[in-house]
Amino acid sequence: MQRSSMTRIVVGYAIVASLYILFSDELLYRLAPDIAQGKWISIGKGLGFVLVTACSLWLLMWRLQTEESQRYQALVANHQAIMLLIDPRSGAIVDCNESAAAFYRYPIAQLRRLNIGDINRLSPDDIQRRMRRVIDRVMTCFI
């Protein structure tokens, strides 16, 4: 996640949370002249804060995910290099670009229905070995 995206999430959250507290406190003072009523309204206010916070964070994260997805799709689609995104467990081709379609002489939609073994000249054992090696490399990055 980029720093600017994290900053937008934090600032957005701070604005929504601050406005909720300001307006709900004002409402509490106007609606609850005695302590008994104030207690229940305060509990409702706290639960409302949790709900508003959760919804705000969900919307901000959804927007960020959409932006990241659009950036990824533009990167793959507009790149001149042959790009195949392969599921390392199954070998299924998950995504590709026009350069890959031109190189392999398949339409993009058809490439996405194929397995790497359908277009690669390596033996199935070699393909599995190479995919396991990729998984191992990736996993060592996260450990």
Tens of pLDDT along 101-143? 999 999 999 999 999 999 988 898 998 898 888 888 887 877 6
What pLDDT digit, counting tens, does each position of 30-80 carry? 776 666 666 777 777 778 888 888 887 788 788 888 888 888 888 888 888
Q: Same domain for 96 and 43? A: no
Nearest by Cα to 86 from 138, 34, 32 = 138
Please state the pTM of the whole predicted model: 0.52
Question: Of 76, 102, 121, which marks where a domain is finished?
Answer: 76
State residue 11's pLDDT score.
83
Q: Could you tell me the residue range of the domain that residue 40 belongs to?
A: 3-76
Judge whether 75 and 95 are in contact, CB under 8 Å: no
| Whether residue 1 has pLDDT greater than 70 | no
Judge whether 134 and 123 are in contact, CB under 8 Å: no
Dihedral sign from CA coordinates of 19, 21, 26, 32 = positive
Q: List Cβ neighbours of 135 (8 Å cut-off, separation of 6 or more).
A: 88, 89
Q: Same domain for 49 and 106? A: no
Q: How many separate domains does the chain show?
A: 2
Judge whether 106 and 118 are in contact, CB under 8 Å: no
Q: Same domain for 11 and 67? A: yes
As a whole number of angstroms, the distance between CA 38 and CA 24 comes to 12
